[in-house]
Structure 1
Amino acid sequence: METKKQKIGNWFRTSISAKMLVVGFIFLILLIPLGFVKDLIRERETRQAGVIEEINQKWGNEVIIYGPIIKVPYKTYTEEKTFDEKTKTFTKNYKEVLNHAYFLPKTLDIDSEVNTRQLERGIYETVVYTADISMNGNFNKFDFSTVDLPEKDIIWDRATLLMQTSNLKGIRNEIQIRMNQNEYTLKPKFDESYMSTLESGFLRKQLKGNGDSTFSLKIKINGSDALRFIPIGGETSVSMHSDWHSPSFNGNYLPNDETKKISNKGFDAHWTVLETNRQFGQQFFNHLPNLNKFAFGTSLIVPIDDYQKTERTSKYGILIIGLTLLVFLLIQIISKIAIHPFQYFMIGLALIMFYTLLISISEHQNFLKAYLISGVAVVGLITAYSKTILKNRKFPMLVFGSLSALYAFIFVIIQLENYALLVGSIGLFIILGIVMFSSKKIDWSNQ
């Protein structure tokens, strides 16, 4: 029995296959704490998202805004029949019903100046903005021919002006619209829908039924994430200027290429949308539909933040742990130096500590500095530890060079966006080639 145990022990100490099995098992075990680290990164990222959402809600969320729209009430009549028991006949009665027509402007010119700022809470920060918006345009003809109404049933002196926005609490000024040389103040109206409504008092016969009605107004509004408009004009022209350097133009319409400019100092963009580019007309009867799906504008995206970079880095954890253990395994096989499984495990834990250091330091420093500090600490620790195991200077220097090159390679990949896959594939191909040719020196006869 003792002889059998000795044979098994000798097999583990001398067999290449046994060493590979042991190191492979340790590698699988190390995936457990690596998974915990990834969960920690996601938890911190979720915490950041919650704090940012809370800050944005207090400052002002995404802004969708459109208007002005003229709302004109009109009368229609429904026929009701009642049965008279005495005469045994039906009598007709007509009940008056109040409906509303909504007329969109013929032209709408919007100019918006978007100034951004960063707000902080503890270790978290977010980007918000204040937009100064000017609107000008005109209405031309209010056509009721599609509903065949007599003029007496149109209540012109009770017409009002409407604006709608997704972010009522972000408005920083009293909105006054100037129309036909008269000024009207828009006040909030109770509305349970996603969009909040602002409505003026009665226009009191200021409309010209068949003539032009010009308007102008200014809005100052706080928001975050995005600023978008809905092209309600027969011809809608939107200009946006901002000091933010990372815009994302989205929605149903993109800005004109010849006017779009993006630099480190900000961006300028211009949109032109015609009625023929939309799927709705210039007037609605009975109700105003939800037009949010036609919105377009700009999202003020934040470039990849430190949590996203840390999460991307952790995805290469399997690669780093696997290659590092492989380097030690090749050194052990080639040099015949004994490395205990416990020592492999300690090296793997040191590699995992890199990610906890990275996420904790990056919450207080920029990502480059956090990556540099974490990398130097882990590479230095493993190099010093390998010197006590390998008993010479040549192999620890090989470990130092391999780890330094590997961490530098990973850092380059996570900084790239368009070429990350290409560079990563080429790098892995080179690493595979190095491992393949290094393994030629191994005597595989002792399995």
Structure 2
Amino acid sequence: MKQSFYIKLGIIFFLILCLMLPQSFMLGLVSERVSWRQQAYQSIEQSWPGSQTVAGPVLSIPYYFTYNAKEKIIGTDKKETEIIKEMTVRDVLYIIPKQLNINSKLESSLRYRGIYGVPVYTNTVQMSGEFSTQPLLDLIAKNKDYKIRWEKPQISVLVCDQRGIATPPILTWSGEKLTFQPGGNLPGTVAGMHVAVPDLSQQHESKIPFSFDMELHGMRSINFALLSNNTDVRLAANWPHPSFTGDLLPEQRNITDQGFTAEWRASSFSYDVSNAMERCHKGECSSLMERTVGFELIQPVDVYQQSERSIKYAELFIILTFVALILFELLKKVRVHPIQYTLVGMALLVFYLLLISLSEHIQFLLAYGVAAFCSTALLTFYFGAILCSRKLGLILGAGLSILYVSLYVILQAEESALLMGSLLLFIVLAGLMLATRHFDWYELTGQGDMSAEVQK
């Protein structure tokens, strides 16, 4: 009896190790399905604009300034002669708005590739504010000894994916209507739009109001760069599950089942505008789109992430079930064959396969309930048969049901999942230890005589 028990215990331990192979297979299956979903996203991105970032407007004024420079020339007689040479240099003055107001209203929907749904949106963006000509006057005052020739100024707005601009926006510039042209027309950038504006006054500071509306298509996320001395951003969307992104969280937000609203306020102090403009002056205007605020349209339940997390508890379910079978086998003097242990382990693993496949087509909660019911019902019936007791089968089935309910609660508590999982393991272990604290294991395993001799 002694040798047969330990041999069987070794076989059961070996079975647990072997059952980890299907568990690894299912983890690989989850990764494969995630990659297929990513391919679906990429497929939709080929025919629909991707994540969008809007930066601007930025006023750029190219100019040439001419100055006299002294230059020393050494002649054939090795005498040094100083001459005055006229030099002309081209540069660009970049001006950001003194005040920028952004109002965005987003309407979202789902586009499907096979079974995978990707959130896409149509965003109506209203931008308004005013520019000040003071930076232009400061530049003239700084270079008053130089001759400056100004070129045509322009307004540029950068967009991450230019395909998303549905119709050519109209800029209202100091009461005048101007139509944007494709292309950001800033060094280091491609996507966006630009429009030439009338020459600015060089006599005194003036404030130029502007506004334009833009209909922008995109998917998954929308962000706005805070390129202004003072910026107010107000976003509204019918998507009830936003994930706010960027350098600043919204000052105010209201999230309901029908959607959400959010508001940001920022100044040039909270956002390092001068550094971004300096890099743009060096030909790296793409840096204007690096620091933003916005949100991502996340799926409320990532079925693959939750399935992967649930699979990681498979060893716990297998070990606890096998321990319960071993205890009932010893207490009730019944014999459970290793093949029956194997079938029980496979039935426990089939739960995860059902969960993955069902959650792709129905809600995760419903998929979890169906998979748990099927697995529990099958094992309850099987436990009653192999233990020759319907009561014992119901007891084991009830315990398994409690474990599945506990696992679902842990899966929903993302931030405290580790804590709850640790507590569950502690409670199960404590319950097992308390329930078996009076057991005579030598007697149960057929080593009672040897135990008595040791006590003598």
Aligned in 2, Cα 1:435/1:199: closer, same or farther, shift over 3 Å? same
Where does the alignment leave 5 or more consecutive residues of structure 2 unmatched? 448-456
- Name the structure 1 match of 2:107: 115
> Which piece of structure 1 moves more, 420-429 or 294-303?
420-429
What aligned pairs does 1:271-420 form with structure 2 within 5 A after superposition? 271-281=264-274, 285=281, 287=283, 289=285, 290-420=287-417
Where does the alignment leave 5 or more consecutive residues of structure 1 unmatched? 1-9
- SS of aligned partner of 1:357: helix
- Name the structure 1 match of 2:238: 243
CA distance in 1, matches of 2:145, 2:128: 29
TM-aligned CA deviation for residue 150 of structure 1: 4.0
CA distance in 1, matches of 2:382, 2:242: 47
CA distance in 1, matches of 2:220, 2:201: 38
Check if 1:27 corresponds to 2:20: no
- SS of aligned partner of 1:109: strand
CA RMSD of aligned residues (A): 2.7
Aligned in 2, Cα 1:192/1:126: closer, same or farther, shift over 3 Å? farther
Aligned-pair identity in percent equals 29
Match of 1:61 among 50, 57, 74: 50
What do residues 197-220 of structure 1 show as CA deviations (whole Å, max 9, x unaligned)?
A: 42213x342556621111111111
- SS of aligned partner of 1:250: strand
Match of 2:36 among 35, 43, 47: 47
CA distance in 2, matches of 1:442, 1:337: 17
TM-aligned CA deviation for residue 86 of structure 1: 6.9
Check if 1:220 corresponds to 2:209: no
- Name the structure 2 match of 1:172: 166
Match of 1:73 among 57, 62, 87: 62
For these two proteins, the number of residue pairs brought into alignment is 433
TM-score of the aligned structures, taking structure 2 as reference length: 0.87
CA distance in 2, matches of 1:135, 1:423: 47
User: Is the CA contact (8 Å cut-off) linking 1:129 and 1:223 kept in structure 2?
Assistant: yes
Aligned in 2, Cα 1:376/1:143: closer, same or farther, shift over 3 Å? closer
- Name the structure 2 match of 1:3: none
- SS of aligned partner of 1:302: coil
Match of 1:262 among 247, 255, 263: 255
CA distance in 2, matches of 1:82, 1:186: 49
CA distance in 1, matches of 2:45, 2:15: 46
What do residues 403-424 of structure 1 show as CA deviations (whole Å, max 9, x unaligned)?
A: 1111121122212234433433
CA distance in 1, matches of 2:34, 2:84: 68
User: Is the CA contact (8 Å cut-off) linking 2:54 and 2:289 kept in structure 1?
Assistant: no
TM-score of the aligned structures, taking structure 1 as reference length: 0.88
TM-aligned CA deviation for residue 250 of structure 1: 2.2
Q: Which amino acid aligns with 1:246?
A: H
Aligned in 2, Cα 1:286/1:120: closer, same or farther, shift over 3 Å? closer
CA distance in 2, matches of 1:366, 1:154: 67
Aligned in 2, Cα 1:172/1:340: closer, same or farther, shift over 3 Å? same
CA distance in 1, matches of 2:299, 2:147: 54
Aligned in 2, Cα 1:23/1:286: closer, same or farther, shift over 3 Å? closer
User: Is the CA contact (8 Å cut-off) linking 1:230 and 1:292 kept in structure 2?
Assistant: yes
- SS of aligned partner of 1:113: strand
User: Is the CA contact (8 Å cut-off) linking 1:249 and 1:299 kept in structure 2?
Assistant: yes
> Which piece of structure 1 moves more, 426-435 or 71-80?
71-80
What do residues 299-335 of structure 1 show as CA deviations (whole Å, max 9, x unaligned)?
A: 2222222212211211111111111111111111211
